[in-house]
Amino acid sequence: MNEKIIIFDTTLRDGELTPGVAFTLEQKIQLAELLDDMGVDIIEVGYPGAFRKDFDALLAVSKQVKQATICGLAGSKPDEVMDVALAIKPAIHGRIHVYTPVDVPRQARSTLDETLDLIRSTIQLARNYRDDVEWSAFNALKSDPDFLCRSFETAIQSGATTINLPDTLGNSAPEDFAALVQSVIQRVANIDQATIAVHCHDDRGLAVANSISALNAGARQIECAINGLGARKGNANLATVVTAIAQHPNYCTHVNLAFLDQASKLVSQFQG
């Protein structure tokens, strides 16, 4: 049997960072229900610590969706973690997704230690509310490689069940991104205790290619969005990603391809 790849949709969160895109509460609920029907594994609804309206949307979707895991984003601040924890409390399956910037100068040893302590305390706090915690290494490609690996090891030790390696600015190329994933797998001693995720932006038009190359290197979760919506040039396009995986000899998803056109048209309609 082909190995299942986890599909994480961020249309309702990162998708709203697309210039001119703003979904109403009713539209977010409708899209979340469609994503659930499609078989998407994780639906990231918003960032309540940064956008107050996202708390209401995350709470509403948590009450409606029955199959998919409902996720909210938080920075490494206790109040932001608490916002997500409260909003996803009604969810049958919930995930707290936290991020910490890791582009710390190597010579700033005290700052490195403070960052590791921050990663540890944030994840431990999140684990008080949910067993499913994802940690993202924000600006990972600008991080010192040794520190990046220490950060991942610390995150897993602290209870992160998924670790996310994002191409935050969309600067990478497939061969380089795959090499980075492989390096993390080889160097992080406890890597087998967490799922490796990737979140690729499309600034160079390579978000999908980078995501698929990461699968071949050992990643097992891809973060993407309907119609490739997202900050700046957008994210990996969900339809392109799941179609490519469906054609891959070794991998599969639980996404029903018959829904892809409907989802694309619905988002386009909401965009006007």
CA distance 217 to 10: 23
**pLDDT at site 106:** 65
Q: Which amino acid is at 67?
A: Q
- Give me the residues of the chain with pLDDT under 70, please: 106-107
10 Å Cβ neighbour count for 37?
15
Residue keyed to tokens 């957008």 = 234
Sign of the dihedral defined by the CA atoms of residues 168, 48, 164, 267, in that order: negative
CA distance 142 to 160: 22
* Whole-Å CA distances, 25 to 57, 129, 153, 204: 6, 25, 38, 32
User: pTM for the complete prediction?
Assistant: 0.97
CA distance 31 to 27: 6
3-state secondary structure of 98: strand
pLDDT digits (tens, 9 = 90+) for 2-39: 999 999 999 999 999 999 999 999 999 999 999 999 99
CATH architecture of 3-271: Alpha-Beta Barrel (3.20)
Report whether 217 contacts 255 (CB < 8 A): no
CA distance 59 to 45: 9
147 Cα distance to chain centroid = 21
As separate numbers, helices (DSSP H) first and strands (DSSP E) second, the chain gives 9, 10
List residues bridging with 74 in a β-sheet: 98
Domain segments of the chain as ranges? 3-271
Sign of the dihedral defined by the CA atoms of residues 146, 151, 156, 158, in that order: positive
Instruction: Look at strands 195-200 and 3-4 and give their pairing.
Output: unpaired
Sign of the dihedral defined by the CA atoms of residues 181, 182, 186, 192, in that order: positive
3-state secondary structure of 62: helix
**pLDDT at site 107:** 60
